């Protein structure tokens, strides 16, 4: 920060046409909150607090906030919290992704508009961390991301339970009549029993690990359980680090670079992390003009092993990952593949961090690079005439027996159509068919929900069918599993090839070739294209945020950000 730049309450004055009066007025109003003259001169660390009664994952934020404030005071700053939108994953309709960009705008603009010299971002639940990092990247003020930390697991009989892979597992059993109504009701109260984010390597945990790998969170903090005392110490340290950045500023644009984004992709692949993270990381990097190509993802995936044995891909939970060594252990294993000269918000390089790392690893949870769980990364991008701009498959969570397969398409034209027919006993479908869901992409009325995990039709699940190839332009929860092709781009609602699939068409999936093909000749596809009329309500017939969203949201391969939030091109 420039010596002459105003700091604290003197930053960014309200415009009354008289700067001295603006500062006088602000100080007098700030004094009404009980601050002494000495405190009014301190640099300010804002704390973006996404606590909400509609966000169970952030239930412990009041206690965490106290610890952040303590850290800021220890670092010589004045902590001032401010509320932002919160996105509690399961409380939002139609889906939280629709509001991620709104939270990013809220976060960015409130940081910009209010007088603060640095900021601590308190987030956790799925979309909150990417929203905060997107906003912070755009404003480019020194920022430290503090995540909520994961929930602890619970028990049902002798079984260990953790949201939300086990939610889906037991719901699948209930649909297959392997679990009674009484049992499923009993389990309902045991799946999520502490504050914190979902207990597996879902989207929230993946984004926490990505934030630490990028360098936006303090080293060693991503996996600390929400209720562990270390989480409070991490909050205190985050506040202190933010206060120290007032005098030694490190901006998000110095931390989020092409190299650190590539490191984050490596970690995502090694974690077998959430498919959603590709969209979020693309959006975060995009705010700084950094492009993530799906072709590059594939080349990284080919040479990055899966190391972490966590649900939904493996068997353990986030608390096990923390005690097993967490992100630091994964980074050590990946060290030869990483850019070691990236810096974190502490100013330390990744290489320096790893040199000091204590070195403990529990091999039951984190495998060595020499003996990985899988030799290749957990995610792969597919291309072909069905997805010209790409689609994503989480191969680490899929059934390998379905990786090279041709099958007959069974098409559902919307989520409503899916809900109405999937359990119809007369539905013409076998386990060898390929289920296709259309019109669930970013611009669709459903706003790209986590509906790509199409339920196995009841009549097949009752026969013991556990997995089928499913293809859509929707997303999938990071806690889900199956041979599920997601994020097909361009989406059906904008006339992408997915809109042209008809019942009975043949589709070919080849994971080895990274292809997804609709085996219909081009002349017939052209005929269907000419008949396609679309089903979107035009933006001009919408209002408010819904209108903004409909006109501005980009496709999955562009991170589903808003076009106008991208960096302005140099004149
Ligand atoms: Fe908040 Fe899963 S519901 S992280």
- Average pLDDT over every residue of 63-68: 98
Query: In this predicted structure, which of 219-223, 255-259, 439-443, 533-537 has the lowest mean pLDDT?
Result: 533-537
Residues 6 or more apart whose CB falls under 8 angstroms from that of 318 comprise: 150, 151, 162, 199, 200, 201, 205, 223, 225, 310
Is the pLDDT score of 238 beyond 90? yes
Cβ–ligand 1 distance for 204 under 6 Å, the answer: yes
* Residue whose CA lies nearest to ligand 1 atom number 1: 125
The Cα 337–Cα 331 span in angstroms is 9
Cβ–ligand 1 distance for 121 under 6 Å, the answer: no
4 pLDDT tier (thresholds 50, 70, 90): low
Is the pLDDT score of 380 beyond 90? yes
436 pLDDT tier (thresholds 50, 70, 90): very high
Is the pLDDT score of 31 beyond 80? yes
Cβ–ligand 1 distance for 206 under 6 Å, the answer: no
Mutate to test the pocket of ligand 1, among 58, 99, 198, 276 (most ligand atoms within 8 A of CB): 198
Short-list 278, 339, 221, 291, CA closest to 476: 278
Q: What is the pLDDT of residue 1?
A: 45
Is the pLDDT score of 10 beyond 90? yes
Cβ–ligand 1 distance for 207 under 6 Å, the answer: no
Task: Please give the backbone phi and psi of residue 341, each rounded to the nearest 5 degrees, phi first.
Answer: -95, 10
Over residues 126-169, the pLDDT tens digits come to: 999 999 999 999 999 999 999 999 999 999 999 999 998 889 88
Token pair 């498919």 is found at: 275
* 58 C-alpha to ligand 1 centroid (Å): 9
β-bridge partners, 154: 161
* 447 C-alpha to ligand 1 centroid (Å): 18
Please name the helix (run of DSSP H) or strand (run of DSSP E) that holds residue 88, with its range, or none.
none
**Do 485 and 475 meet the contact criterion of CB atoms below 8 Å apart?**
no
Is the pLDDT score of 340 beyond 50? yes
Query: In this predicted structure, which of 159-173, 287-301, 498-512, 547-561 has the lowest mean pLDDT?
Result: 159-173
Work out whether strand 506-510 and strand 515-518 pair parallel, antiparallel, or are unpaired.
antiparallel
- Average pLDDT over every residue of 332-345: 98
Cβ–ligand 1 distance for 57 under 6 Å, the answer: yes
- Average pLDDT over every residue of 396-403: 92
Is the pLDDT score of 571 beyond 70? no
- Average pLDDT over every residue of 114-129: 98
Residues 6 or more apart whose CB falls under 8 angstroms from that of 565 comprise: 101, 104, 105, 134, 138, 287
Mean predicted lDDT score pLDDT of the chain: 95
Is the pLDDT score of 5 beyond 90? no
Work out whether strand 404-412 and strand 387-394 pair parallel, antiparallel, or are unpaired.
unpaired
């Amino acid at each position: 920060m420039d010596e002459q730049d105003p700091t604290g309450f003197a930053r960014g004055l309200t415009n009354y046409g008289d700067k001295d009066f603006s500062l006088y007025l602000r100080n007098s109003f700030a004094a009404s909150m009980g601050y002494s003259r000495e405190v009014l001169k301190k640099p300010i660390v804002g704390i973006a607090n996404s606590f909400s009664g509609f966000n169970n994952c952030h239930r412990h934020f009041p206690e965490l906030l106290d610890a952040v404030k303590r850290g800021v005071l220890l670092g010589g700053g004045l902590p001032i919290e401010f509320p932002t939108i919160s996105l509690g994953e399961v409380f939002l309709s139609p889906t939280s992704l629709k509001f991620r960009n709104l939270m990013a705008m809220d976060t960015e603009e409130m940081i910009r508009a209010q007088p603060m010299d640095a900021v601590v971002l308190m987030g956790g639940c799925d979309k909150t961390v990417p929203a905060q990092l997107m906003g912070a990247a755009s404003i480019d003020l020194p920022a430290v991301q503090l995540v909520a930390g994961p929930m602890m697991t619970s028990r049902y009989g002798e079984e260990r339970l953790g949201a939300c892979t086990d939610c889906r597992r037991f719901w699948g059993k209930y649909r297959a009549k392997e679990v009674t109504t009484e049992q499923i009701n009993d389990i309902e109260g045991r799946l999520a029993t502490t504050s914190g984010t979902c207990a597996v390597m879902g989207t929230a945990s993946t984004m926490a690990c990505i934030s630490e790998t990028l360098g936006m969170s303090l080293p060693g903090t991503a996996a600390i359980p929400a209720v562990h005392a270390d989480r409070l110490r991490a909050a205190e340290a985050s506040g202190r680090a933010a206060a120290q950045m007032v005098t030694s500023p490190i901006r998000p644009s110095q931390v989020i670079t092409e190299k650190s984004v590539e490191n984050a992709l490596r970690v995502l692949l090694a974690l077998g992390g959430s498919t959603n993270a590709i969209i979020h990381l693309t959006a975060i990097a995009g705010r700084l003009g950094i492009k993530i190509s799906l072709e590059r993802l594939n080349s990284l995936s080919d040479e990055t092993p899966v190391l972490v044995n966590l649900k939904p891909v493996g068997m353990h939970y986030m608390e096990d990952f923390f005690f097993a060594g967490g992100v630091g252990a994964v980074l050590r294993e990946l060290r030869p593949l990483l850019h070691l000269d990236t810096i974190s918000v502490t100013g330390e390089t990744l290489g320096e961090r790893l040199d000091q790392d204590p070195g403990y690893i529990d091999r039951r949870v984190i495998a060595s690079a020499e003996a990985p769980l899988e030799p290749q990364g957990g995610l792969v991008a597919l291309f072909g005439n069905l997805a010209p701009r790409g689609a994503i498959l989480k191969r680490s969570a899929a059934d390998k027996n379905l990786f090279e397969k041709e099958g007959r398409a069974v098409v559902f034209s919307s989520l409503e159509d899916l809900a109405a027919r999937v359990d119809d006993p007369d539905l013409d479908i076998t386990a060898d068919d390929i289920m296709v869901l259309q019109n669930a992409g970013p611009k669709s009325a459903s706003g790209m929900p986590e509906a790509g995990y199409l339920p196995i039709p009841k009549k097949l699940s009752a026969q013991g069918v556990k997995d089928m190839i499913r293809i859509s332009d929707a997303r999938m929860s990071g806690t889900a599993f199956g041979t599920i092709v997601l994020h097909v781009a361009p989406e059906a609602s904008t006339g992408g090839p997915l809109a042209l699939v008809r019942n009975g068409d043949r589709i070919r999936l080849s994971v080895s070739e990274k292809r997804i093909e609709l085996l219909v000749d081009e002349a017939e596809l052209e005929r269907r294209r000419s008949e396609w009329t679309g089903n979107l309500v035009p933006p001009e017939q919408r209002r408010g945020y819904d209108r903004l969203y409909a006109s501005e949201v980009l496709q999955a391969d562009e991170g589903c950000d808003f076009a106008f939030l991208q960096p302005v091109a140099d004149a």
